[in-house]
Amino acid sequence: MADKLGSLKPQKKIELYSGNYFAACTLGGIIACGPTHTMVTPLDLVKCRRQVDSKLYKSNAQAWKLIYAKEGLRGVFTGWAPTFVGYSLQGAGKYGFYEVFKYLYGEKLAPGAPKTVVFLAASASAEFLADIALCPLEAIKVRMQTTNPPFARNLREGWSKVVAQEGIGGLYKGLYPLWARQIPYTMVKFATFEATVSQIYSFLGKPKESYSGLQQTGVSFLGGYIAGVGCAVVSHPADVMVSKLNSDRKAGEGAGQAISRIYGNIGFRGLWNGLPTRIFMIGTLTAFQWLIYDSFKVSLGLPTTGGH
């Protein structure tokens, strides 16, 4: 049997835009996002701590050395459990709903609309829903990563402590900043990816279908990295604010009050703390997510994303 990744035209076992197709995309999103975010937990840990206190470590290498010396390997991976669960749920919503909304907006509601508009609207809609699932886990992750000693030793303890101290609402106090970070991030991630992939195939001079599945996933990786750099820059100020809100929000303080107070303390320049680390992290993360997601689709006999 021919290698599915290397075949020129993968056999379609799942009908496009069917319930099974959207379910497959949802599963692909889980596989693409949960493990990849978990793998970069050490980088995320240092990034979050340096966002909260830019003077805490001189470099990433020094940070890992100090954390490992004090807390061992477990300390370096602080927050991995809420990261894995939260971003698996987010990946399911991000990719699954994106495919649903892209089909709904582009094929049903506004078939004549420019593709870029469809990509932006679909990705924004998908991320809006995905973040509702992510927010409680992100709140626990950030608290564990930005406190020393960590706020909690594991996900279950972190969840219990937040609910006991602040109620269920404490798990969602960062939802608005999370939307402010993630919705522009995902709009850039998907729209830039789709446009970049189309440009790559245009530059190569042959239609997408003339390339093997393996070659197409290579294009997905490159397009994903380019899109990831844009994502990191666009969403970084909100990412810093999410970290600060979850680590430095006073009891009874409204979101607007907290944001105003924190901004007064760190200023505009403070919103860009940790950007180089995040560009590297998000660029690599996004590239591998698109590679994994489209490889999964090809393995099921489905076309890769973009370039149509």
Give pLDDT tens digits for 181-196.
889 889 999 999 999 9
Q: Tell me, what's the pLDDT at 308?
A: 64
Mean pLDDT score of the chain: 89
Backbone torsions φ then ψ of 154, nearest 5 degrees: -155, 175
Report d(CA 116, CA 224) in Å as an integer: 16
- Residue 14 has φ and ψ, to the nearest 5°, of -120, 130
Q: What is the pLDDT of residues 46-71, one digit of tens each?
A: 988 887 787 888 888 999 999 999 99
Which of helix, strand or coil describes residue 41? helix
pLDDT the model gives residue 171? 94
Q: For residue 6, what pLDDT band results from cuts at 50, 70 and 90?
A: very low
At 62-109, the pLDDT tens digits run: 999 999 999 999 999 999 999 999 999 999 999 999 999 999 999 999
Q: Which stretches of the chain are assigned E, i.e. beta strand?
A: none
pLDDT score of 268: 86
Cβ atoms of 262 and 232 within 8 Å: the answer is no
Judged against a pLDDT cut of 90, whether residue 251 lies above it is answered with no
| Over residues 216-220, mean pLDDT | 95
Residue 274 has pLDDT above 90, yes or no: no
- 5 contacts 68 by C-beta, under 8 angstroms: no
- Domain covering 15-172, topology: Mitochondrial carrier fold (1.50.40)
In this structure, is the dihedral angle defined by the CA atoms of residues 295, 20, 3 and 208, taken in order, positive or negative?
Answer: negative
> What residue spans define the domains of the chain?
15-172, 184-307
By C-alpha distance, which of 111, 185, 173 is closest to 142?
Answer: 173
Its pTM stands at 0.82
